[in-house]
Amino acid sequence: MVIQSAEKSLLPRTAIVADPDGRRLAAIADVLAAAGFQVATASSHERLAGLMESHTPSVVVADHSFASLPVAAPLLLLIDLTDEAEAESVRTLGMADYIVKPPAPAELVHRADSLICRAEQRSEARQSAERLRERLREVSAAIRATHDPHLIADHVVKGFGETFSADRVLFTTFDDDRVPGIAAQWHRPGLDPVPDGLGSHEFGAHRVADRLWADAEVLAVDDHHLHEWSAEDRELAEWAEPMGPWASAFVPVGEGKSALGAIWIAQLDGPRVWTRTEISLIQHVAGNVAYGLIQSHLMIAQQQVVKQLRQLDQAKTDFLATVNHELRTPLTSISAYLDMIQDGMGGPVPPEVARMLDIIVRNSERLRRLIEDMLTVTRQDYEGANLHLAPVRLAHTLHIVTVALRPLAELGDVSIVLELGDADPVIIADEVQLEQVFTNLVSNAIKFTPRKGRIIVSCRFDAMTDGEPGVNVDVRDTGVGIPDEEIPHLFTRFFRASNATSTAVPGSGLGLAIAHDIVKAHCGYLAVNSELGAGTTITVQLPVSGP
């Protein structure tokens, strides 16, 4: 039966015949119809194009003159071998198949059936490969979803076992500092587990894996009974032999220039042909395994380092707390006795001794401040910035600080000026901690300001760096200044500017760090503007509404 309507759907084993020769067209259509094909015919390019748009034929049998028209179906091309141009086109066009015209009926049907069969096989192979890719994509996704090396190993052995319907899958890492030591296995129900790892054969297996890794190859054995083992692979064969494999694949897992492990997939009940697609996909998953193991090993190592650093930091904090306590107790006693001696409780003090006592008192005060700074750092490490918030009149706090430090400044022939104008801001803050901030800043300015120098402390309402309404307090001095490249490090604990060290200005490098931490806890900012030889301005920005 010849189907003439382009609109009628074609059923399985359908054919489109295209030929401008009407008699040959009819003859070919009749032969295919008699063989059980449902046939549609086309005598022109337009007709064939229309049929291809509305039908999905099992095969297209077309005259050579239709060769330029794209056909998305198995194509059997009719060629006149006496025509040199047509004969040559067979080679240049790369058609799927061709047959000499006029075709013999039996050969025509056989060739059409063969084309359809090959097309179905290719389609099934593509679908099978896609199913394989999808299953191994799931294995790779499971590997990437965890940083536990043992879970990675379990995912790969189970995933390969189920995907390839294998009987056994073993995975082991070699003695390598890039990955943890792992041995994992999977086997189908009914089989007993085998010893983990490669045992005494590890050295030979490692050597084989390194070679395969360098060559980007997999040792795929379709039939162990027929395989001819090379001398370098024989030790691996001896390791596998007690497990009775019939077919197997030995896959290197590597990174860089060497293998760090291997995967062994075994079939026990019969031979198996390993396709290039399977090998390629296995290698891709093995690459994910290597990456996942290395990353997990690095993360574990980093976690251990972090844990050790925390332990060291805690030990440091405990040590500082203990030392502070042990230092403050005798220092308190020393200071008390110094006060008693200066007050004359032990009798009159000669002027020379009084001057020596003044030096002792100043140095004991320096030691007390250092201990207090260390204690503050220790407290912050323990508790963070534990703020006790309340309304604070900032002008009053600045007045207390400047009055308390003016005698120290006058000893160095440095003047302190407090410029408040009409500003008397009230903010929500911890007054004790803010007092420590400004004490540290002004004390620092006194140390770095030469004789006849000047320190100006001022306060004004101004927007903060983030644009929020706030209060800015400037501590400006006419001191030695700070090198530009050292300004970013000023708030690092124990950091001291190079000109402070070279000029032997005393200090611990904690004052600015403590001030920075306290201001930050108040949701504020510290800004530094300095010029060598001209002085430094440190600006404290604090929000009006508090942290």
Is position 318 within any domain? no
Q: pLDDT in tens for each of the 547 residues of the chain?
A: 333 333 333 347 899 999 999 999 999 999 999 999 999 999 999 999 899 888 889 999 998 888 878 888 888 988 887 777 776 766 655 545 888 888 999 999 999 998 888 888 888 878 888 888 899 899 999 999 998 999 999 999 999 999 999 999 999 999 988 998 999 999 999 999 998 888 888 999 999 999 999 999 999 999 999 998 998 898 899 999 999 999 999 999 999 999 999 999 999 999 999 999 999 999 999 999 999 999 888 888 888 888 888 888 777 777 766 766 667 667 777 877 787 888 778 788 888 888 887 778 777 776 776 776 666 665 555 444 567 888 989 889 999 888 888 888 888 899 999 988 776 788 888 888 888 889 889 988 888 888 999 999 998 888 787 777 889 999 999 988 888 888 888 877 766 666 654 444 555 567 788 888 888 888 888 888 988 888 899 999 998 876 6
CATH number for 229: 3.30.450.40
Integer Cα distance of 159 and 467 in angstroms: 56
Last residue of one domain, picked from the residues 57, 91, 124? 124
Instruction: Residue 500: give the domain boundaries.
Output: 385-543
In a domain, residue 108? The reply is yes
Number of folded domains in the chain?
Answer: 3
User: 161 and 91: one domain?
Assistant: no
Residue where a domain terminates, one of 293, 315, 336: 293
Pair (513, 417) in one structural domain: yes
97 shares a domain with 193: no
Sign of CA dihedral 344, 350, 355, 360: negative
Domain boundary among 259, 278, 293: 293
Q: Shortest CA distance to 167 belongs to which of 94, 271, 95?
A: 271
33 inside domain: yes
In a domain, 328, yes or no: no
Same domain, 409 and 521: yes
Q: For residue 406, tell me if it sits in a domain.
A: yes
The β-bridge partners of 407 are none
The answer to whether position 334 is within a domain reads no
CATH code for the domain of 27 = 3.40.50.2300
- DSSP string across 455-510: EEEEEEEEE-TTS-EEEEEEEEE-S----GGGGGGTTSTT---HHHHHTT----S-
Regarding whether 285 and 169 lie in a shared domain, the answer is yes
Are the C-beta atoms of 58 and 117 separated by less than 8 Å? no
Q: Give yes or no: residues 284 and 247 share one domain.
A: yes
Residues 112 and 142 in one domain: no
In-domain check, residue 141? yes
**Are both 116 and 138 inside the same structural domain?**
no
| Same domain? 141 vs 281 | yes
